[in-house]
Amino acid sequence: MPIYIYKVKEGLRGCKFCKEGFEVFQKINEEPLKRCPKCGEEVIRIFSSFSVGFSKTGLDRRAKEKGFHKLKKVDKGKYEKLY
Ligand SMILES: [Zn+2]
């Protein structure tokens, strides 16, 4: 499943969450996020990758090293923070 990393748009305030960037698992045909699920500020997708070729733990570690939070979509418009 592709993992997308979002960050608040440059110049916008955002919150701690989207300023640091967060990862979202989304289906390939899902619309990219336009707004931070926490504060509603506009976000941009800065990086995306497929988990193919990476072990899950490797990805998690990489994300943690970069200080990204990880979100899992649990429902339409609802995200669960994994860390
Ligand atoms: Zn935010």
In a domain, 18, yes or no: yes
For residue 78, the model assigns a pLDDT of 76
Beta bridge partners of 67: none
The answer to whether residue 32 is domain-embedded is no
pTM: 0.57
Could you list the residue range(s) of the whole structural domain that residue 47 is in? 2-26+40-81
Measured in angstroms, how far is the CA atom of residue 38 from the centroid of ligand 1?
5
In a domain, 64, yes or no: yes
Instruction: Give 53 Cα–ligand 1 centroid separation in angstroms.
Output: 30
How much is the pLDDT for 18? 95
Segments of the chain with pLDDT less than 70: 1, 47-66, 82-83
- Interval between CA 77 and ligand 1 midpoint (Å): 14
What is the predicted pLDDT for the residue at 10? 93
Q: Into how many domains does the chain fold?
A: 1
- What's the CA-to-centroid distance between 39 and ligand 1, angstroms? 4
Question: Residue 47's pLDDT is what?
Answer: 66
pLDDT of residue 53: 47
- Strands in 43-50's sheet, in edge-to-edge order, are 43-50, 2-8, 22-25, 69-75, 78-81
Residue 75 covered by a domain: yes
